[in-house]
Amino acid sequence: MNSKRSGMGLNARRNFEGWLFLVPAVVLIVCMSLIPAVMAFVTSFTTGTGANTQWGGLSNYMRILKDKVFLQSIKNCFFYLIIQVPIMLVLALILASMLNNPKLKCKGILRTCIFLPCATSLVAYAIIFRTLFATDGLINLVLTSIGILNAPYNFLAHPLSAKIVIIIALIWRWTGYNMVFYLSGLQNIDYSVYEAARIDGASPFQIFTKITIPLLKPTILLTAIMSTNGTLQLFDESVNLTNGGPANASITMSHYIYNQTFQGVPKFGYTSAMSFLILFMVAVLAFIQMKVGDKRD
């Protein structure tokens, strides 16, 4: 009986010590994330600034529906999402499949080279791409040299080409990041499965579609949700690469929220409402992706 009591006491003490270690992290999360989020939600229902703040109800949310620039930023983000995310994930999956081949030489160097763009600074890589696609940049120099263009083209001064530059930059930077997830998942698959498929006469395309993709489905779902979340909150590329131009043609939602908050008279209530609209869109898209992609019983 005494051993049971001492055992229960030991378990309780271990549980207490475990929760005690979690207290600092919980306090930080509550103070730095939860409380500011609740305050921002309350602020989204207010209008005015400083001492002139007053309750505005749903006026900020109704204002969003009439804000042409913010509606344009939503279209831009979904344009990036629909085009860039599928290309990036498919390319990352193909690269991971190629680099998972045990017969491939110099795999470590190749993996490092593909992942390196992810390690670069967001600001630095945006400036690099801005320089590359400038009128006197390397891209124009190459295209005019081989005769594709007769004269230098200002990629960043036209709406469609400015968006395409952002998409190319995103693919360059984040493909290696997603490749690491897929490569990690592939290394948990016994390579004898692929050897057996080849012996049975399966083509590389059949192996890719019938073995690799189904076995990596949870990882693909994870990267799709993370990429969707990141694209809808895109900021650095819009600010540093195109500055939202030309004429807000490439501006993102986060960039527009930043402008409304820190340029001119701050509109904290309105920007809080826009932020929670982004949160709502991210949550809805993540829920849809979970329902469509996760078929586990």
Please indicate, yes or no, whether residues 189 and 263 belong to a single structural domain of this protein: yes
Please indicate, yes or no, whether residues 163 and 39 belong to a single structural domain of this protein: no
Whether residue 104 has pLDDT greater than 90:
no
Does some domain include residue 50?
no
C-alpha 42/C-alpha 54 separation (Å) is: 11
- Domain boundary among the residues 10, 27, 43 is at 43
C-alpha 30/C-alpha 268 separation (Å) is: 21
Q: Cis omega before residue 36 (within 30°)?
A: no
Does some domain include residue 235?
yes
Please indicate, yes or no, whether residues 158 and 267 belong to a single structural domain of this protein: yes
Please check whether residue 81 is in contact with residue 170, taking contact to mean a CB–CB distance below 8 angstroms. Answer: no
Please indicate, yes or no, whether residues 135 and 171 belong to a single structural domain of this protein: yes
- Which residue range is the domain that position 139 belongs to? 67-293
pLDDT digits (tens, 9 = 90+) for 156-205: 999 999 999 999 999 999 999 999 999 988 888 887 888 888 888 888 88
Residue 3: per-residue pLDDT: 47
Please indicate, yes or no, whether residues 75 and 168 belong to a single structural domain of this protein: yes
Does some domain include residue 225?
yes
> What is the average pLDDT score of the chain?
87
For residue 210, what is the domain's CATH number? 1.10.3720.10
3-state per-residue secondary structure call for the chain: CHHHHHHHHHHHHHHHHHHHHHHHHHHHHHHHHHHHHHHHHHHCCEECCHHHCEECCCHHHHHHCCCHHHHHHHHHHHHHHHHHHHHHHHHHHHHHHHHCCCCCCCHHHHHHHHHHHHHCCHHHHHHHHHHHCCCCCHHHHHHHHCCCCCCCCCHHHCHHHHHHHHHHHHHHHHHHHHHHHHHHHHCCCCHHHHHHHHHCCCCHHHHHHHHHHHHCHHHHHHHHHHHHHHHHCCCHHHHHHHCCCCCCCCCCHHHHHHHHHHCCCCCHHHHHHHHHHHHHHHHHHHHHHHHHHCCCC
Does some domain include residue 62?
no
C-alpha 14/C-alpha 5 separation (Å) is: 14
Please indicate, yes or no, whether residues 175 and 211 belong to a single structural domain of this protein: yes
Instruction: Identify residue 269 by its one-letter amino acid code.
Output: G
Please indicate, yes or no, whether residues 143 and 263 belong to a single structural domain of this protein: yes
Please indicate, yes or no, whether residues 231 and 267 belong to a single structural domain of this protein: yes
Does some domain include residue 49?
no
Domains held by the chain: number: 2
Tally of CB atoms within 10 A around 50: 7
Instruction: Identify residue 70 by its one-letter amino acid code.
Output: F
Percent of the chain beyond pLDDT 70?
A: 95
Please indicate, yes or no, whether residues 161 and 207 belong to a single structural domain of this protein: yes
Residue 137 burial (C-beta neighbours within 10 Å; 0-12, 13-18, 19+): middle
C-alpha 233/C-alpha 255 separation (Å) is: 9
Residue 296: per-residue pLDDT: 55
Tokens 């693909």 belong to: 220
Please indicate, yes or no, whether residues 229 and 182 belong to a single structural domain of this protein: yes
- Which of these ranges, 20-24, 98-102, 159-163, 237-241, has the smallest mean pLDDT? 98-102
pLDDT digits (tens, 9 = 90+) for 62-71: 999 899 999 9
Please indicate, yes or no, whether residues 24 and 165 belong to a single structural domain of this protein: no
Please indicate, yes or no, whether residues 20 and 73 belong to a single structural domain of this protein: no
Torsion angle, alpha carbons of 161, 163, 164, 168, to 10: 140
pTM for the model: 0.86
Does some domain include residue 59?
no
C-alpha 96/C-alpha 204 separation (Å) is: 14
Does some domain include residue 148?
yes
Does some domain include residue 53?
no
Residue 108: per-residue pLDDT: 83
Tokens 């995103």 belong to: 170
